Amino acid sequence: MFWEETIETMPLPDLQALQFERLKTTVARAANAPFYKKVFAKSGLEPAAIKSLDDIRRIPFTTKEDLRESWPYGLLAVAKEELVRMHSSSGTTGRSTVIFHTAADLDAWTDILTRSMFMTGMRKADVFQNMMTYGLFTGGLGFHYGAERLGALTIPVGAGNSRRQIQLMRDFDTTVIHIIPSYALHLTEVFEELEVEPRRDTRLRIAFLGAEPHSEKTRQRIEEFYGLKAFNSYGLSEMNGPGVGFECQCQAGLHVWEDNFLMEIVDPDTLEPVADGMEGELVMTTLRRAGMPILRYRTKDLTRIIAGPCACGRTHRRIERITGRTDDMLIIKGVNIFPVQIEKKLMEIDGVGTNFQIILERKGYNDHMIVRVEVAREFFSGDLKQLELLRKHITEELRSDILITPRVDLLEPNTLPKTEGKAVRVIDNRTD
């Protein structure tokens, strides 16, 4: 039974009562974690002081920095022996944010993914090709277990190797794919090269698009080219990963599973709740996690709540597709990158000057990152081999940290514009 009618169509007052019970449990559990012990002591908050859902506003926010500083185990609310899985956010090989799960946590996560997939029309008879990276990133294993629980034949192919992806789709009659939208666009070119037409030569009918922002236009292009229905899947590792917000067959906003998460939308400057339906930063609290509960997590993602009931009958409220971020995090090919990572790496390299710029371009369907770096003047006189070696060295150093390969352009000192005040480090020329 993957359509959990009692939960999915629960009247709002009942849903809120359930949320309140789970919030109390969550706060009491969190109080066991070293990080929250300190937070509660500092703010004088007792878990017993949570007497209504609104009382959540008495709890301080949790940020990505808090998670980083609590590396590795500072947010654990249970003994380490209780844990069975670790995941992390995409994008860095260094100290990113790590999330731990107990067996019950994984069970609950699988549950909401199964529910999400079922909601779009996927069924047991489907063949599911999971084209997301397996490993620490949540998109692989998260969906994998959800699809298996649903009973669909699951192909854990992972990301990349476009020709093989297409071959698998054809040979095994794949009907459902999970794919990063930019990769889905890129793959259209490979289909064309191979003269394979997905509408004619495959049985694809559903795609889950996740891990990076994309527009309605991108969705439409993907739907048209592949001849399928594409559903937006939103999640973040701190809240398990995928399964936080998911579109139903109405494709009119993403249902947030409110029996699993408590959502708030706040003004990113004042951190006060915005008026109903207004855009703001999404703040999330886990309601079913035992290993590592997180309270009032600032996602930095911008969205708004869509008013009114959904035609599908589910009562869990919907959010608009993510429209942007309140920080400078870039997402390239599904990988999260902060400009400061690039700065840190560059500044460690001998010969690198003080100024650099990141330019993002879209060629065809592919995103490219160009890093323009000023280097010491001596590299430009005499033997230019040294310059080429430095360029290769910088490229490799960046690749090893941000996990994508940028094109590196080396420039003489004082070439890049100097700005008074905040440097403009990123120029994003990608448009839809």
Q: Which residues bind ligand AMP (CB under 6 A)?
A: 89-90, 138, 210-213, 232-237, 241, 299, 301, 322, 325, 331, 336
Closer residue to ligand AMP, CB minimum distance, 97 or 175: 97
Q: What is the DSSP letter of 62?
A: B
Give yes or no for a contact between 60 and 99, defined as CB atoms under 8 angstroms apart: no
| Sheet arrangement for strand 352-363 | 407-411, 366-375, 352-363, 426-428
Least separation in angstroms between residue 251's CB and Zn ion is 9
Which of ligand AMP, Zn ion, none does residue 358 bind to, with CB < 5 to 8 Å depending on kind? Answer: none
Rounded-to-integer distance, Cα 394 and Cα 400, Å: 10
Which of ligand AMP, Zn ion, none does residue 243 bind to, with CB < 5 to 8 Å depending on kind? Answer: none
Which of Zn ion, ligand AMP, none does residue 408 bind to, with CB < 5 to 8 Å depending on kind? Answer: none
Closer residue to ligand AMP, CB minimum distance, 100 or 234: 234
Least separation in angstroms between residue 95's CB and ligand AMP is 14
Among the listed residues 277, 369, 362, the one whose alpha carbon sits nearest the alpha carbon of residue 330: 369
Closer residue to ligand AMP, CB minimum distance, 97 or 165: 97
Least separation in angstroms between residue 249's CB and ligand AMP is 17
Which of Zn ion, ligand AMP, none does residue 211 bind to, with CB < 5 to 8 Å depending on kind? Answer: ligand AMP
Closer residue to ligand AMP, CB minimum distance, 329 or 387: 329
Chain residues that interact with Zn ion, rule: CB under 5 A: 248, 250, 310, 312, 314
Rounded-to-integer distance, Cα 186 and Cα 332, Å: 13
Exposure string (b/e) for 197-226, b if CB count within 10 Å is 16 or more? Answer: ebeeebbbbbbbbbbbbbeeebbebbeebb
Q: Which helix (H) or strand (E) holds 25?
A: helix 12-30
Closer residue to ligand AMP, CB minimum distance, 244 or 342: 244
Which of Zn ion, ligand AMP, none does residue 266 bind to, with CB < 5 to 8 Å depending on kind? Answer: none
Rounded-to-integer distance, Cα 80 and Cα 10, Å: 35
